[in-house]
Amino acid sequence: MRWQELLKDYLTFSRKERVALLAIVFITVIVALLPKILSPFYFSHKPESDTSWINKVKSLEIRDSQRSSYLDSPENENENEYQYDLSVSQTPAPESKLFYFDPNTLPPGEWKRLGLKQKNIQTIQNYLSKGGHFYKPEDLQKIYGLSKKDYERIAPYIRINKAEGIKEEKKTTELSTKNTGYKEQRKINNLTVIDINTADTASFIALPGIGSKLAARIVNFRDKLGGFYSVDQIAETYGLPDSTFQKIKFYLKSENPSLRKININTATIDELKAHPYIKWSIANPIVAYRKEHGAYSNLEDIKKIPSVTEDLFNKLVHYLTIE
């Protein structure tokens, strides 16, 4: 029959075809069984997990957290300008306890109970011993090194004796008018008049409205000038409000100032422009005039320089010499 012939034609394999078919079946079986054959050798032991990198990441997180805590400290603001207090901690001591207190009468041991650092406590005691007084809670912020976090933590518990504060304020100074001018009457128990050319930063801090930053600026300005010839020069200190200067000027004096002077016949441009009153635009013509006309015979000669005004000359004359 025809169908039998068809089956015979399609289902009959030659010897080579049978060998090839068997080879394919054999390879297929081997590939299917290969994972099971190899698993005892390669997958019998589960690899141990390496957790060392986790520990390293945690240590970096802790270190970064500590660094952020330091950079957020209020003591680090702006101040490549002046000194920094790297020892200030942003975290209160574990044994700290909050209670109502008057900062003007609180003993050192009680400050410690509040959780303040020893350095902060010492600064407060120095301030009070120099005649300083806290009239309102915000005054505590002018204590150098006291962090914002510590202040905000203890501020709600500050209770200042208002009557005592008014009494202290009245003791500081009284002004009375006599004839055509003002006569200064200083009734001083805690605050004393200071010489602006010999006072240190602690003496300036004791004055009302002057914190450690302004005190450092006043001393730094004095050193660059070569001394103050007038109390009014304090008002030129960068960042010092006029209202604060008006408060403190009655506690300032300048007696027999010994000013550092610059010899305009020998000084270089760099030496001249280092003085706060002399810019490069003034230092350069002073030296150029000397090179062209010879040594200065008197200080009035620098008024021939167009940039030296009468007002500027009246300031500079205290700091210049021709000897």
pLDDT recorded at residue 98 = 85
Domain boundaries, the chain: 2-35, 108-168, 191-253, 262-321
Taking only the tens of pLDDT, the chain with its 323 residues reads 566 666 666 667 677 877 888 888 888 888 888 777 776 655 555 555 555 656 665 666 665 555 544 444 444 444 444 343 434 444 444 467 888 888 888 888 888 888 888 888 988 888 888 778 888 888 888 888 888 888 888 888 888 886 555 555 555 544 444 433 333 334 444 578 999 999 999 999 999 999 999 999 999 999 999 999 999 999 999 999 999 999 999 899 988 888 999 999 999 999 999 999 999 989 999 999 999 999 999 999 999 888 899 999 999 999 999 88
pLDDT for the residue numbered 143: 85
For 191-253, CATH gives 1.10.150.320
216, 83 contact by CB (below 8 A): yes
Q: Please report the pLDDT score of residue 97 as a whole number.
A: 81
pTM of the model: 0.43
| CATH topology identical between 191-253 and 262-321 | yes
Q: Are 308 and 302 in contact (CB under 8 A)?
A: yes
Indicate the DSSP class of residue 323.
-
Handedness of CA 89, 91, 94, 100 (dihedral sign): positive
The one-letter amino acid at 155: A
Q: Burial level of 246, CB count in 10 A (0-12/13-18/19+)?
A: exposed
Pair 88, 107: CB distance under 8 Å: no
CA separation for the pair 289, 291 (Å, rounded): 5
| 195 neighbors 255 (Cβ within 8 angstroms) | yes
pLDDT of res. 252: 94
CATH superfamily to which 262-321 belongs: AF1531-like domain (1.10.150.280)
* Helical segments of the chain, H only: 2-11, 15-42, 52-71, 108-113, 118-129, 148-154, 162-172, 201-205, 212-225, 242-248, 269-273, 280-293, 310-316
> 128 near 168, Cβ under 8 Å?
no
CA dist., res. 160 & res. 173, Å (int): 21
- The number of beta carbons lying within 10 Å of the beta carbon of residue 285 is 17
- Kindly provide the residue ranges of all beta strands, DSSP E only, lying in 68-135, ordered along the sequence: none
Q: What is the pLDDT of residue 253?
A: 92
* Secondary structure class of 154 (helix, strand, coil): helix
Contact 235, 214 (CB under 8 A): no
